[in-house]
Amino acid sequence: MRGMTIKKIMFTEEELGGIVSELADKINSDLCGAESLTVLCVLKGAVMFTADLVRRLNVPDIRIEFIRASSYGKSDVSSGEVSVGDATGDIRGRDVLVVEDIIDTGRTLNSLKERLLNMRPKSLRFCGLFDKPSRRIADFKADYVGAVIPDEFIVGYGLDYAECYRHLPYVAVIELNS
Ligand code: PRP
């Protein structure tokens, strides 16, 4: 693993809280009147975001489920191969909100969408905390995006570099040392 240096903070803990609140407001207004919802957290990067988002949602019966998806492995570039595990829980006939930390090439959510639609949910929505549209390869558009960001390598608030730095409460731009 190459060493890295933190170049700058992109989002402070407080700013992240504001972004998550705004997303929750939009989702709450779209789901107004819904009795139940399955929130599907895409592991591992979306764990912190999911935990904060669900605590701001107003739907009375929320189930939290998890799915493993990985496109990077331990490398710092996308392998182009997406591995998607089996979703936990039965989503047939349920309103589903998929929660992802970052949308980059779009391959992960594109594969996941196909897989989930085959499971016949009542509705399927996608929420990404960060979106890098300049990196898109697969045709994918999320229903909710917290912030559109430039193509920089970020860590923290769930996002990793070689499995490290997910625990940081802020999001930072890093530079890999040569
Ligand atoms: C990252 C991120 C998304 C995916 C986005 O996951 O969390 O799931 O890549 O990239 P894409 O739009 O190019 O498919 P990663 O494979 O690093 O797994 P992790 O969440 O466990 O870190």
Q: Is residue 161's pLDDT more than 70?
A: yes
- Report how far Cα 89 is from the mean position of its chain's Cα atoms: 19
Class of domain 14-150 as given by CATH: alpha beta
**Atom of ligand 1 at shortest distance to CA of 140?**
12
pLDDT of residue 36: 96
Å from CA of 27 to ligand 1 middle: 23
The catalytic residue among 104, 131, 143, 151 is 104
Q: Give the chain's largest Cα–Cα span.
A: 54
52 in catalytic set: no
| Atom number of ligand 1 nearest to Cα 106 | 12
Helical pair 13-30 and 47-54, crossing angle rounded to 10 deg: 60
Nearest CA to ligand 1 atom 3: 102
Q: Assign 3-class secondary structure to the chain.
A: CCCEEEEEEEECHHHHHHHHHHHHHHHHHHCCCCCEEEEEEEECCCHHHHHHHHCCCCCCEEEEEEEEEECCCCCCCCCCCCEECCCCCCCCCCEEEEEEEEECCCHHHHHHHHHHHCCCCCEEEEEEEEECHHHCCCCCCCCEEEEECCCCCEEECCECECCECCCCCCEEEEEECC
For residue 3, name the pLDDT band (cuts at 50, 70, 90): confident
Percent of the chain with pLDDT over 90: 83
pLDDT tens-place string over residues 8-65? 999 999 999 999 999 999 999 999 989 999 999 999 999 999 999 999 999 999 999 9
Amino acid identity of residue 154, one-letter, is I
Using the predicted structure, report yes or no on whether residue 73 has a pLDDT greater than 60. no
Residue 72 has pLDDT above 50, yes or no: yes
- pLDDT band at 76; cut points 50, 70, 90: low
Reported as a single tens digit per residue, the pLDDT across 78-103 is: 556 677 777 677 899 999 999 999 99
Residue nearest to atom 15 of ligand 1 (CA): 70
As for ligand 1, residues whose beta carbon falls within 6 Å of it are 42-45, 69-72, 78, 82, 100-108, 160
